[in-house]
Structures are given as C-alpha cells and as structure tokens.
C-alpha cells in the first residue's frame, strides 16, 4: 500500500487555483487539524468563492464561526477540490493549512523527516 501513496513532509509546495489564475504557495501539513484553511487575502487575490456555508472551527485561539469555500488545489501531483475555511492567517508563517479533510481524501503519508522540495 505504501507504494501507491504520495509522501508529504510537514510543509509542501502546492498550487491553489482561482477562476483565472493559480498561485504556488508553501502549505503547512497539519494532521491534527480536521479542516483545511486558507488566508483571507490569498482567497481574495485569487477570486475564490462563493461562501458555501459556515462552520465552527476550534483553534489555539479559541472557537470561531468561519466561512467555508470550495478550493481546487494540487498537492503532491494530485489535484482535488475540497472545503477550506477562510481565516486571517497573515500573522502565521503559512497562508494555507492542509488538514485531515484533504489528507484522508488523497492517498498521502506524512513523513516529518522529508524536507521541503526546492
């Protein structure tokens, strides 16, 4: 089974697709996060949306009601569309966080020793 899975590190270069353009960013891979998240400014820059629903998201800073959008991404050569919460991630190192909703959908293994591909 391992041969058929893509191995990801704790950070990965991914592509985020908007209606007219795409952006390559380094995303944080977080197996402890149930949902994926994208920065508000990146979402606006790419023209992502519309908001499909809202969801209560628990984080280190507490529980908040966040808007959710569908986002098309390419991670490790696998393209998929999944729900992301929109959050102000400007104060964080990574503008995109990849959570369990994507990690379970794709066939990924996480290797913390794997370095970021340059």
Encoded tokens for 116: 């970021």
Please, what CATH class does the domain formed by 10-105 belong to?
mainly beta
Per-domain residue ranges of the chain = 10-105
**Which residues 6+ apart lie within 8 Å of 58 measured at CB?**
none
Count of CB atoms situated within 10 Å of the CB of 105:
13
pLDDT for 32 equals 93
- Phi, psi dihedral angles at 9 (to 5 degrees): -90, -170
What is the per-residue pLDDT across 19-74, written as a single tens digit (0 to 9) for each? 999 999 999 999 999 999 999 999 999 999 999 999 998 877 788 999 999 999 99
Q: What is the pTM of this model?
A: 0.90
Count of CB atoms situated within 10 Å of the CB of 7:
12
Cα-based distances in Å from 97 to 2, 4, 58: 24, 24, 14
Count of CB atoms situated within 10 Å of the CB of 3:
4
pLDDT for 118 equals 44
| Angle at the Cα of 101 from the Cα atoms of 40 and 73, rounded to 5 degrees | 55
pLDDT above 80 (res 106): no
Please, which residues bridge with residue 39 across strands? 87
């Amino acid at each position: 089974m391992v041969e058929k899975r893509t191995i990801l590190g704790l950070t990965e270069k991914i592509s985020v697709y908007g209606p007219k353009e795409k952006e390559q960013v380094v995303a944080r891979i977080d197996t402890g996060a149930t949902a994926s998240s994208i920065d508000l400014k990146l979402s606006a820059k790419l023209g992502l949306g519309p908001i499909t629903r809202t969801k209560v998201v628990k984080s280190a800073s507490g529980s908040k009601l966040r808007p959710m959008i569908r986002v098309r991404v390419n991670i490790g050569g696998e393209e998929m569309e999944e729900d992301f919460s929109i959050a102000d991630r400007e104060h964080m190192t990574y503008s995109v966080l990849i959570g369990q909703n994507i990690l379970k959908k794709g066939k990924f293994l996480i290797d913390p020793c794997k370095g970021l591909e340059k």
